[in-house]
Amino acid sequence: MSRSVGIDDIYVYVPATRLDLLGEEFIEARRGKLSAEEFEGKLRHLGVQHAAVPDGGQTIATVGATAVYRLMAQNDIQPEQIGRLYGATESSYDNAKPFTTDVKGMLGQNLGSSRTNHWHTMEYKFACNAAGAAILDCADWILADPSPGVSGREAIVVAVDHGKYPLGSAGEITGGFGGVAIRIKQDPRLLVLDPEVRGYSSRDAYDFWKPTKMAVRSPGGATSFESHAEMPLVDSQLSIDVYQDTMRDAADAARTIARRKGIVGKNQPMKDVMRKAALHIPFPDMGRKGMARWFLHDIRGTAEGEEIEAEIGKEPLLESFSSVKAFDKAMSDHMKKLRQVKPFRNYMDSVFEDSVVWSRSTGNAYTASQPIALASMFKQAAIHGERLEGKYVGLGFYGSGAEAIVTIGKVAPGWRNVAWRMSIEDDRVRMLTMDEYSLLHRHSDQPMDPIVEPENEWMLTGIDDMGRRTHKFIEKTDASGALTLEVPQRIPTPLVRRVS
């Protein structure tokens, strides 16, 4: 007997501290030789608006713990129901100890550590791709148990990342921060994942990387090797190219399996059965570029493809050019033409654009960006009154280095009630001044006083001389002294471990 397993709910946590990338102060500080209008036009072309910035005392672990705790609270999940807590990040602060052990430790303060000790706890790393691997591995683990409804056979995937770049660098405008907690279980209310339709495509590429060692040459020619900082090295154009190529190839592999299963017809484009799509979003325009490349590939050889070809010309072929650079330029021009064609624009408006709404407020949250896009897609669809029950959604994960994963899921009947609760709204949102932003940038992942008063969340309170960390849950209470956060009845009132 087949069983359905998938995503039951997603809790998104975004810090209240945000940088207004379109604000006058940021534009004036970063425009360089460009006019203010030119620099603003560049930002709007990329699709960015705000970038979330971790406040003082906020780390991937504290935000991860807060997201997991709130997911459990709003779904009345007891610790005994959970068997796995899998983490995904590329911002880890320890090369051995997974950040999810700190997450579990913080949750143990409030839930009782003896109730979480049975959780299998891991940390996944593959740039921005890790959440996809963790979600699918947890779904397979649940499916592997022959007994439906076994207690402790649910999983939570927590994906958190800080997209941090040097101040004033080209990558700074694509930074961000965010965390998600994703519940994976049998008979999910949101999205049933297909256990077979999965496409993969990987490369050995230095498009975006964070080396632990780098060669440093002295003026005399001697070479030494020094530790590298927490921020990445990026080959921007290569990153865009590899993102598009691997996403296209992974989608092609997924389509082959979908055709074999009869989900997609023999000569039918996969887009015809995919009602919505949510991809990894470094910035909205890059997601649009990836969709355009896949769209063009997917309709090749179809009547629609021939109609579009008649309008914009034939797709450039590498063998027709004397250099890769000339081919890249021709392909870029071809893609620009495609993005102006009405059938493609209509498709993007209905299938893709809902998924980038929230990323304009979070910026690039790396491993968390695709789940944030998925939550954004569902919430916007609920707002618009769309009927998605039984429709297929395409999920595209990408991690530099590089690999893409493409899979599909079928929207569950109860999706709307779950989606309505999703939100990144926060009445505490504070647009940072450049001085405040620079301060938080310099002191990220360190204990320091927050700019925005924390409410019902964990904060980093100390790092000792051995690198060991301490955390504290900051409560918000009403006039009677009761917690304002609704927690399940059988989960005890938070017991705060005082830190001297």
Would you list the domain boundaries of the chain?
A: 5-474
Average pLDDT over residues 395-415: 96
Angle, to 10 degrees, between the axis of helix 303-312 and the axis of helix 324-338? 110
Q: What's the pLDDT score for residue 167?
A: 96
Residue 249 confidence (pLDDT) above 90: yes
Band of the pLDDT at 225, cuts 50, 70, 90? confident
Q: HSE-up of 24 (CA within 13 Å, CB side)?
A: 0
Q: For the chain, what percent of residues have pLDDT higher than 90?
A: 79
pLDDT tens digits, residue range 267-286? Answer: 899 999 999 999 999 999 99
Q: Are 366 and 89 in contact (CB under 8 A)?
A: yes
Band of the pLDDT at 212, cuts 50, 70, 90? confident
If phi over 0 gives left and psi between -120 and 50 gives alpha, with beta otherwise, what is residue 301?
A: left
136 Cβ contact list (under 8 Å, min separation 6): 193, 198, 405, 407
What is the C-alpha to C-alpha distance for residues 457 and 107, in angstroms, rounded to an integer? 11
Containing H/E element for 379? helix 369-383
Identify the weakest region by mean pLDDT among 59-63, 142-146, 308-312.
142-146
485 Cβ contact list (under 8 Å, min separation 6): 70, 73, 456, 476
What is the C-alpha to C-alpha distance for residues 262 and 499, in angstroms, rounded to an integer? 59
Looking at per-residue pLDDT, the higher value among 135 and 112 belongs to 135
pLDDT tens digits, residue range 27-83? Answer: 999 999 999 999 999 999 999 999 999 999 999 999 999 999 999 999 999 999 999
pLDDT tens digits, residue range 348-364? Answer: 999 999 999 999 989 99
Please measure the distance between the N-terminal and C-terminal CA atoms of the chain and give it in whole angstroms: 55
Q: What's the pLDDT score for residue 221?
A: 79
State the chain's mean pLDDT as an integer. Answer: 91
What CATH code would you report for 5-474? 3.40.47.10
Average pLDDT over residues 450-464: 95
Q: What's the pLDDT score for residue 428?
A: 93
Q: What's the pLDDT score for residue 223?
A: 80
Identify the weakest region by mean pLDDT among 108-117, 157-166, 226-235, 326-335.
226-235
**Residue ranges with strand state E in 110-175:** 120-124, 154-163
Band of the pLDDT at 148, cuts 50, 70, 90? low
What is the C-alpha to C-alpha distance for residues 281 and 359, in angstroms, rounded to an integer? 7
Containing H/E element for 19? strand 17-20
Identify the three-state secondary structure at position 187. Answer: coil
Q: What's the pLDDT score for residue 477?
A: 56
Q: What's the pLDDT score for residue 398?
A: 95
Q: For the chain, what percent of residues have pLDDT higher than 70?
A: 93
Looking at per-residue pLDDT, the higher value among 416 and 214 belongs to 416
- Classify burial at 125, counting beta carbons within 10 Å of its beta carbon; exposed 0-12, middle 13-18, buried 19 or more: middle
Q: What's the pLDDT score for residue 236?
A: 87
Residue 330 confidence (pLDDT) above 80: yes
Identify the weakest region by mean pLDDT among 302-306, 310-314, 482-486.
482-486
Q: Are 50 and 41 in contact (CB under 8 A)?
A: no
Q: What's the pLDDT score for residue 498?
A: 31
What is the C-alpha to C-alpha distance for residues 158 and 133, in angstroms, rounded to an integer? 12
Q: What's the pLDDT score for residue 149?
A: 58
Q: What's the pLDDT score for residue 150?
A: 63
What is the C-alpha to C-alpha distance for residues 271 and 264, in angstroms, rounded to an integer? 9
φ, ψ for residue 3 (rounded to 5)? -125, 150
